Structure 1
């Protein structure tokens, strides 16, 4: 696994790339062209990185040439196409999908059971601090008991499955009223969803962005709210007002390296780390059952 920031996109504006259903190779050309344009690459740029020629790329895109299975996969890799859409490209070119599509919670899948076991080890190891497993739409698939430090006071309807972390954070009956720096956090989370949309646009993610964008933000005079950090921040903290005092967390996101399964490629594990000694002390003291 590799730990780092949430994915970033090379294109600033999300444009829908349709799911292919063609049984022959004619449908793959326009799809590849859309991905190339989203990545802001010329045919020559793509040809140079994929060890091909601009002429061949042009022929593939306009349907004059049927790409081999290996060529489809090579172009998809250099275009940064997610695994789910790589399967769609292969189907459009007349080939079988290359990547299996499983379910994170499938009890009969030994491979996914191993993934869940590894994820559970990470979640338990991070206690008493919060950690959560997210899918591509930011729905929560699993969480550790440390999440109680964050989710206290959230309306029960928002906690019913599928619990969505972005919705819970920004909803007026979620965490939003208790986030001291709501203006900063709101901008960050909206930009995060927009980055995901630029990489892979889906209808559920677009609906989520539309929904949370309409939630009320903070008053202008209270844009950053809360106390001022005593030291310069190196990452944006979430400052949360609680009955135990103000808690400040920063987060890091872990993903699986070189996944061969669509579901695994879309998993993200977000770890919330105490941003100051006071937060660490409060969490250890007030949430002992999470340890």
Structure 2
């Protein structure tokens, strides 16, 4: 079990901040930061959260900091269908429904799908039922030969995008389960050589995901939405991905909206 000082020093190192920079951001003295990190002073719960805020520590890890300092966790972790999250759940569902006829989904920090809109269902029709047993993982769904992989024209690009996004997650906050997912599906290897050409160099706006369905190519790009001021761990880790047609031909496949 690491001390709170050791954990704070690790987070400061991940963020590339000196003790002075952290102290200035948190409006405390550099000496106080040093005393906390070396264990020569016991910080209050308020000070732990103050430093964690400046270090952009995820809520889940702020609880770990508090526990290491001898305090009770501050942030609850409820399932998304919990009554306390009803307003947030309605907001997620409203965003998903409003995006129809284009596909949209919500997923957690491990890329497990939590909710989808109706436009996602047709894309799942040919997926191996084994991949659709909960929890359904978006990355595995996209890269597994039993999932979308045979339909993706630029699979090498899609893999690289997933790799970059998960890599940023791990750089921001280490996670054992996410690391295992990365090593299973995203670690650099020989897959890209057999996954067709990359189109990234020819794109000057966004890199689309290109699906070949029924002899036609469907080009999609996505945006990601998160909660702005979460106080619950589940909401802190939920992301909503909205897919859009990248050209007029693709838009026509969805009814031309």
TM-score when normalising by structure 2: 0.93
Distance (whole Å) between structure 1 residues aligned to residue 215 and residue 25 of structure 2 = 54
Matches within 5 A, 1:68-83: 68-83=44-59
Match of 2:196 among 222, 225, 231: 222
Deviations 1:141-181 (A, max 9, x none): 00011113433422221111110001111112221221111
Is the Cα contact below 8 Å between 2:112 and 2:136 reproduced in 1?
A: yes
Is the Cα contact below 8 Å between 2:77 and 2:232 reproduced in 1?
A: yes
Is the Cα contact below 8 Å between 2:107 and 2:113 reproduced in 1?
A: yes
Corresponding residue of 2:80: 104
Q: Report whether the alignment pairs 1:192 with 2:168.
A: no
> What is the SS of the residue equivalent to 2:191?
coil
Distance (whole Å) between structure 2 residues aligned to residue 143 and residue 213 of structure 1 = 24
Count of residue pairs the alignment pairs up:
256
> What is the SS of the residue equivalent to 1:141?
strand
Is the Cα contact below 8 Å between 1:182 and 1:217 reproduced in 2?
A: no
The 4+ residue runs of structure 1 with deviation greater than 4 A are: none
How far is the alpha carbon of 1:221 from its aligned partner?
8.4
Q: Report whether the alignment pairs 1:124 with 2:97.
A: yes
Q: Report whether the alignment pairs 1:281 with 2:252.
A: yes
Q: Report whether the alignment pairs 1:253 with 2:231.
A: no
How far is the alpha carbon of 1:204 from its aligned partner?
1.2
Distance (whole Å) between structure 1 residues aligned to residue 79 and residue 136 of structure 2 = 17
Higher helix share: 2
> What is the SS of the residue equivalent to 1:52?
coil
Deviations 1:223-275 (A, max 9, x none): 327xx98xx54111100111161111100001111111111111100000111
How far is the alpha carbon of 1:220 from its aligned partner?
5.8
> What is the SS of the residue equivalent to 1:251?
strand
> What is the SS of the residue equivalent to 1:132?
strand
Distance (whole Å) between structure 1 residues aligned to residue 155 and residue 195 of structure 2 = 12
Q: Report whether the alignment pairs 1:156 with 2:129.
A: yes
